[in-house]
Amino acid sequence: MYRPKVRILSNLSMEVVNNGRGTPCQAEQENKCPLYDKVSLPELVKNVIVYPRLLNNPLCLAGLSWGQLLHHLIGKMQFGSRRKKIDTSPQTELYGHALQFYVQPPLENISLSEFETFAVDRVKLLKTIENLGVSYVKLSEDYKKKLWNESRNLNFPYKLEASVKDEKKSQIGQDEYEKRRKDHISHFILRLAYCQTEDLRRWFIQQEVDLFRYRFDGMLSDQKREFLHRNNLQYNTITVEEKKSLREQLVISSYAVSGVTVESQDFYKVPFQDALDLVRTRKVYLKAGYVYIPHQDIVTIVLNDFRTRLSKALALTARSLPAVHSDERLQPLLNHLSHAYVGQDYSIQKNVGKISLEQIDSLSGKSFPLCMKQLHQSLRENHHLRHGGRMQYGLFLKGIGLSLEQALQFWRSEFTRGKVDADKFDKAYAYSIRHMFGKEGKRTDYTPYSCMKVILSNPPSQGDHHGCPFRHSDPELLKQKLQFYKVSPSGISQILELVKGMHYQLACQKYFELTHNFEDSNFSLNHPNQYFIESQRVLGGGKDIKREMEAPQRSQENSAARGSTAAREAAANASQDLAEMTEDLDSFFQDA
Amino acid sequence: MPSSDYDPASLPDLLPLYYRRLFPFSQYYRWLNYGGVQKNYFQNREFSFTLKDDIYVRYQSFTTQNELEKEMQKMNPYKIDIGAIYSHRPNQHNTVKSGTFQALEKELVFDIDMTDYDDVRSCCSAADICSKCWTLMTIAIHILDRALREDFGFQHLLWVYSGRRGVHCWVCDEAARKLSVAARSAIAEYLSLVKGGEETVKKVVLTDPIHPSIRESLSVVERYFSQYALHEQEILGRKESVDKVLALVPEDVRKDLQQSFQNEKKPETRWKLVKDQATRKQATAKKGQHFEKEIMLQYCYPRLDVNVSKGVNHLLKSPFSVHPKTGRISVPMDLKELDTFDPFAVPTISMICEELDRPRTEEESEDTKEKENEKDAAEKRKIRDYKRTSLAKYVKYFDQFLDGMARTWKGELLRKSDLQKEF
């Protein structure tokens, strides 16, 4: 389909803008609109309505190219010095390789609708990567297959193993070219959307790094070499003598290196900071601050390079954020994109105070997910929880509707039953509970932990009861626990099977189905508070709780409105259509 | 015993004396100033004080040693914590735009706390320690000290007794102070082997082949295991302890061992049976079976509080701070004498204050030459003061540690002044 270009749109008169707000467009009335018969009107209207200030923007009127627009948005610091090079390098050169290091920003003009589609598709892709990373071992066959499919469906490059010869420069087909172009442009759009806060940056970098890893892994070794060469990535290798003297250590430090292959392999010696993933997991030989990496693990260093550069680029982008905020066409979309990733975060509660403290025991039996049940029990038994447990459980309780006062009462009454007296509680613990509710310190209103967070971050250690029981329990203990909760033997074995395959959330959902006599639940579990809501829904017990809970909002929805007032007005004017436009996105993230 | 002499109620009376006459300010400043190589390094450092009644004051900072001294003598903190070096003076953190006040550098720190070993020590629990379980700290220090030096190449490691139930490590190398959060957490994870909380029974799982660093750690554990675990903790003694150990071996082996343990009571022989089973398994199984090693590590390998090491802005109790509950001074530990280090012999505040009141011996009053530290008379008197107490040997060791670091500053300062000449 023909897509209107920003530059062409900029030829339209101001009336069109007003048309978006209800006044008839003069150009339209007179049938003189230059795009009148070329673009389907709804398409055009949508563009104009969603971005009513589009034509007002001097940038567009000046007919700036996409590259220049990005220069403006991302900030001159980052790309200023490279501009000359970019302007002379042909596009085909830019897309010579399926995998990109995203050094140069795109230069072409792009329509707003393409801008939107590209961005939304990439968010979908990254979201898929995040989900796959939790359900499957990264780079396992299933993981790769699913990601391959998703890349193909969303029209991103997926034929990574395509031979280099076919791709000699201009010879890549139009189809492949489009895919690579989309990959390139969408990455840069999301940089704008995800540079705004530390959390967003971390999420974005993590998913981009995983995507890069997957793609790098899919290439043949020739291609890898060419890729490294093309991007000027060179690393120090060790000498034959050094290799000989370290032979034994090298062999027992790396899984895939044997006494035979150590001779023929290149080993790279880099500071340990450049290969943290290998250090963390003890998968590499480490001596005096240097790691010795066999050639096959070179991906770690490349990834580290990728991560470092991306992180720096995002920090720079963030610095020029005011420029993005002043662009009222893009700001609403970028904000929407950036907070879409979390899905519901169950933070804002309309039902605060609708749950009484007496209800908690019975609710924990019926409607708490296993992780919270476990925390609740150990709190009741020990009259104490360590920090990790207090955070995980405390925020969950806040999410189901405990008010600050109730929370303080709840924790105090339980803690003072143990070794802590009321005085000590007020001094040592009350602060952290008020902190959780955003009443202390930097006053962030913390959101309840998602399954992802529970599973991936801060694993429990000695004395801790937090974490995900499906992820952090010995299978034998988990089995006993499930038996205790009267799960049928066949159910238990199904759950344990899922756990074995590292599908912890699916295991939890299976547990939900089994304990609620409910087959094929039609939701996808990714949040302990979601578990609670769904459980209440099924049990029908807490009807009013449920209704109130229907519309938990994203906390960042508010931050979207933090921009300029003008943007807010614009967004309000366009809210209806914006809602329509973003409906897909919303439903997607709710399903995910 | 002097330790039992300490009465927490006397702390408010003793602290002023301690900060006025005993606290080694000059060494303390020498440490945290790091030779003045980087501008504002001391000035932008966060200190936080815990005052009487658990009043907690964060973001204290001082421009000079003198100011630090005055302030500590005025506030008489019950506890001193050291935080990061920030982008601005911490005491002015409210005056700078939010978001620009950031923690930039800090020593890489480790915190090992005996409470984390509660599931593997039978002698004490929670905050209590005894000479039996202290061996765990000795093992932990040997293992971590080696790994940090040999694997990571760090040189300036200050080990400090926390004053009650644990030890801290301050890695002071310049490279360590500049580490990112990600690097700190990677190091902490590299050094962590015991994983899992209350819901995990088997907390150490080795992969095959065993990494060189773990092999080194194992050789440390082996030196202590028989005496410490078999004899002192009697992990193969009573039935409950035996069951706990056997829960860590594969099921088929467990039955065999249970049977053979019936006729065999001697812990040494029982352990030999476990090892024999492991050797047998290793001969038959394709993938390595290391359960005997895993047991040793689960019982003896250092357990780190990873969160303390990760954050650049995390606070850690300062050396020479007093532990309010025990009254013991948080003293640097000389690793040359690690195996004989006795936490119960560490001086308490009441003990060293008492020692001050003793009449001087002749030898002490003569001993006045304290290197090139030619400062005013008060300073000299203070130096003499701590020298008359049992704190002296710890301060002396601290001095040696600082001398070692000073050699790197000298090089760095020389290089800097050379650079300046070029311009």
pLDDT at B378: 63
Kindly report, residue by residue over A384-429, the tens digit of the pLDDT: 999 999 999 999 999 898 889 999 999 999 999 988 888 889 888 9
* Cβ-defined contact of B152 to A289 (cutoff 8 Å): yes
Sorted by where each begins, the domain ranges of chain B are 8-112+155-181+306-420, 195-300
A569 band by pLDDT with thresholds 50, 70 and 90: very low
Distance to chain B for A316, nearest Cα, Å:
14
User: What ipTM was estimated for this complex?
Assistant: 0.90
Euclidean distance between CA atoms A274 and A96, whole angstroms:
27
Whether pLDDT at B176 is above 80: yes
pLDDT at A256: 65
* Cβ-defined contact of B200 to A474 (cutoff 8 Å): yes
Whether pLDDT at A51 is above 50: no
Euclidean distance between CA atoms A233 and A302, whole angstroms:
8
Mean local confidence (pLDDT), B216-245: 94
Mean local confidence (pLDDT), A25-49: 33
Domain that holds residue A269: 236-297
Q: Count Cβ–Cβ pairs < 8 Å, chain A vs chain B.
A: 109
pLDDT at A333: 74
- Within a domain: A316: no
pLDDT at B371: 44
Mean local confidence (pLDDT), A187-208: 86
* Cβ-defined contact of A252 to B209 (cutoff 8 Å): yes
Euclidean distance between CA atoms B191 and B213, whole angstroms:
9
* Cβ-defined contact of B118 to A460 (cutoff 8 Å): no
Which residues in chain B have their CB less than 8 angstroms from residue A201's CB?
none
Q: Is the CB of residue B306 less than 8 Å away from at least one CB of chain A?
A: yes
A349 band by pLDDT with thresholds 50, 70 and 90: low
Of the candidates B57, B44, B49, the residue with the CA atom closest to the CA atom of residue B104? B44
Domain boundary at A40, A69, A91, which? A91
Question: Is residue B209 reached through a cis peptide bond, with omega within 30 degrees of 0 on the bond before it?
Answer: yes
- In sign, the C-alpha dihedral spanning B230, B234, B238, B241 is negative
Which residues in chain B have their CB less than 8 angstroms from residue A277's CB?
186
Kindly report, residue by residue over A245-263, the tens digit of the pLDDT: 888 888 888 766 676 777 7
Mean local confidence (pLDDT), A266-285: 91
B208 band by pLDDT with thresholds 50, 70 and 90: confident
Percent of chain A with pLDDT over 70: 68
Alpha helices by DSSP H, listed for B147-209, are 174-177, 181-190
Domain boundary at A259, A274, A297, which? A297
Whether pLDDT at A323 is above 50: yes
Whether pLDDT at A567 is above 90: no
B375 band by pLDDT with thresholds 50, 70 and 90: low
Q: A-contacting residues of B 98-117, CB under 8 Å?
A: 98, 115-117
Kindly report, residue by residue over B251-293, the tens digit of the pLDDT: 889 999 999 999 998 999 999 999 999 998 888 876 668 999 9
- Within a domain: A200: no
Kindly report, residue by residue over A103-146, the tens digit of the pLDDT: 888 777 777 788 888 888 998 899 889 888 877 788 888 899 99
Percent of chain B with pLDDT over 70: 92
Domain boundary at A91, A110, A131, which? A91
Which residues in chain B have their CB less than 8 angstroms from residue A276's CB?
182-183, 186
Phi then psi for residue B304, to 5 deg, are -95, 145
Please report the beta strands in A281-437, taking only residues with DSSP state E, as ranges in sequence order.
285-287, 290-294
Kindly report, residue by residue over A138-180, the tens digit of the pLDDT: 888 889 999 999 999 898 988 766 544 444 444 567 788 888 8
Distance to chain B for A282, nearest Cα, Å:
6
pLDDT at A465: 93
Q: Are residue A362 and residue A263 in the same domain, yes or no?
A: no
Q: Are residue A11 and residue A80 in the same domain, yes or no?
A: yes
Mean local confidence (pLDDT), A514-530: 84
- Number of domains present in the structure of chain A: 3
List the catalytic residues of B.
46, 111, 113
Whether pLDDT at A362 is above 50: yes
Q: Which helix (H) or strand (E) is B157 found in, with range?
A: strand B157-161
Mean local confidence (pLDDT), B236-249: 93
Q: Name the residue of chain B whose CA is nearest to A431's CA.
A: B56
A338 band by pLDDT with thresholds 50, 70 and 90: low
Euclidean distance between CA atoms B401 and B335, whole angstroms:
11
Q: What is the pTM of this model?
A: 0.74
User: CB burial class (10 A; 0-12, 13-18, 19+) of residue B333?
Assistant: buried
Of the candidates B388, B401, B394, the residue with the CA atom closest to the CA atom of residue B321? B394
Looking at per-residue confidence, does A27 or B184 come out higher? B184
Euclidean distance between CA atoms A134 and A457, whole angstroms:
12
How many contiguous H segments (helices) and E segments (strands) does chain B have?
17, 8
Q: Is the CB of residue B128 less than 8 Å away from at least one CB of chain A?
A: no
Q: Are residue A412 and residue A560 in the same domain, yes or no?
A: yes
Token duo for residue B379: 């300073």
Euclidean distance between CA atoms A384 and A400, whole angstroms:
21
* Cβ-defined contact of A473 to B199 (cutoff 8 Å): yes
Listed range (A55-64, A225-234, B168-177, B335-344) with the worst mean pLDDT:
A55-64
Euclidean distance between CA atoms A344 and A346, whole angstroms:
6
Listed range (A321-330, A341-350, A443-452) with the worst mean pLDDT:
A341-350
* Cβ-defined contact of A285 to B200 (cutoff 8 Å): no
pLDDT at A538: 87
Q: Is the CB of residue A253 less than 8 Å away from at least one CB of chain B?
A: yes
Q: Name the residue of chain B whose CA is nearest to A462's CA.
A: B197
- Within a domain: A446: yes
- Within a domain: A559: yes
The mean of the pLDDT values for chain B is: 90
Kindly report, residue by residue over B143-153, the tens digit of the pLDDT: 999 999 999 99
CATH topology of domain B8-112+155-181+306-420: DNA primase, PRIM domain (3.90.920)
* Cβ-defined contact of A467 to B117 (cutoff 8 Å): no
A350 band by pLDDT with thresholds 50, 70 and 90: low
Q: Are residue A573 and residue A424 in the same domain, yes or no?
A: yes
Q: Are residue A388 and residue A537 in the same domain, yes or no?
A: yes
pLDDT at A7: 29
Length of chain A: 592
pLDDT at A456: 80
pLDDT at A172: 63
pLDDT at A345: 65
B221 band by pLDDT with thresholds 50, 70 and 90: very high
Which residues in chain B have their CB less than 8 angstroms from residue A462's CB?
115-119, 194, 197-198, 303
Kindly report, residue by residue over B285-330, the tens digit of the pLDDT: 766 689 999 999 999 999 999 999 999 999 999 999 999 999 999 9
Q: Name the residue of chain B whose CA is nearest to A255's CA.
A: B209
By Cβ distance, the residue of B175, B180, B196 closest to A460 is: B196
Whether pLDDT at A472 is above 50: yes
Alpha helices by DSSP H, listed for A194-327, are 198-218, 221-230, 240-253, 261-264, 276-280, 298-319, 321-325
pLDDT at A541: 54
DSSP B373-388: ----HHHHHHHHHHHT
Q: Rounded to an integer, what is the distance from CA B390 to the centroid of its chain?
A: 20
Euclidean distance between CA atoms A331 and A192, whole angstroms:
10
Distance to chain B for A266, nearest Cα, Å:
20
Looking at per-residue confidence, does B185 or A84 come out higher? B185
